[in-house]
Amino acid sequence: MLGLLSLNPIVVGAADPASDFRFDPVEHWAARVLTWVLIAAVVLVSYALFAVLRGELNGVAGRSIMAAGVVVLPLFSVATGMLLVFVRAGSVEFCASCHHVMQAYADDMKDPDGTGIAAVHFANQYIPGNQCYECHTSYGLFGTVEAKLHGIGEVYRYYTHTYRQPIEMWQPYSNGDCLKCHANSIKWLSIDAHTDEDMKEQLFDDRTSCMSCHDPGHNVRDTPAKASS
């Protein structure tokens, strides 16, 4: 249900005019085409079942209808749906849809008076969109695959109510997820601690956490420090 809602163009419609600058026409129309394909598949399968019961599904035309409704359209729907879900699973709205677990983190990030790293980044729009995903996913293809695999497990635990609170990250937050954007930027290099060779080596090796100097990523009550990233 979560995935289907994420594909619904009405549910995910742009509520913020600023989102128009990030409008993707391919994703927009693919979601609409997928909706009509799903409707067509349901109609064809229903017709095929009705015709089978009446003994009228014969000949090339009948077999073609059956193949389209049972094989071709479902395969197209699954392939297109998976691609769209993977893209939209990175949105803040998708993450916050696990209300009992992640809503507090999304609210903290959007708090204009928040002092955590997530709130500061969001208020200044350092990351224009998909903020949760961008900060919690390592760089490169492997990082994306790793995030999707862990995400599937998190969705499973949420719907089976097997998650534990307060939640904890599956591993301590890596400096690499900060440095992939900040390393060697002008602002980063202006801090003496960042240019000190010994400290720089410790930061890049994860021996010293960025959080040892900066505020935690989130300030959510009763949540362990390592869950704040």
Q: At what angle do helices 25-54 and 73-88 cross, to 10 degrees?
A: 150
pLDDT at 210: 92
Along the chain (229 residues), what's the average pLDDT of each consecutive run of 10 residues? 44 52 72 84 80 71 74 81 78 87 92 92 91 86 79 87 84 90 90 90 92 89 43
pLDDT at 51: 75
Say if residue 166 is preceded by a cis peptide, omega within 30 of 0. yes
Phi, psi (deg, nearest 5) at residue 210: -60, -30
Triad 166, 170, 175: Cα angle to 5° = 110
Among candidate residues 197, 145, 203, the one with its CA nearest the CA of residue 178: 203
pLDDT at 150: 84
Domain ranges of the chain: 1-16+23-88
pLDDT at 19: 58
Q: Tokens 């507090």 identify what position?
A: 104
How far apart CA 43 and CA 159 sit, in angstroms, is 30
pLDDT at 40: 83
How far apart CA 165 and CA 185 sit, in angstroms, is 37
- Rounded to a whole number of angstroms, the distance between the first and last alpha carbons of the chain is 28
How far apart CA 89 and CA 210 sit, in angstroms, is 27
pLDDT at 17: 57
pLDDT at 16: 56
